[in-house]
Amino acid sequence: MPPEYQRFLAAVRQAAGSVATRQIGEALGLDTGVRGKLEPLCGKPAKLTDRG
For each of the chain's 52 residues, which pLDDT tens digit applies? 788 888 888 888 888 788 888 888 888 888 888 878 888 888 887 787 787 7
End-to-end Cα separation, the chain, in angstroms: 11
Within 10 angstroms of residue 9's Cβ, the number of other Cβ atoms is 15
What pLDDT sits at residue 31?
87
Q: What is the pLDDT at residue 35?
A: 77
d(CA 11, CA 8): 5
Task: Report pLDDT for 20.
Answer: 87
26 Ramachandran zone, left/alpha/beta (phi>0; psi -120 to 50): alpha
- pLDDT of 9 reads 87
DSSP codes, 22-46? HHHHHHTT--TTSHHHHHHHHTHHH
pTM of the model: 0.69
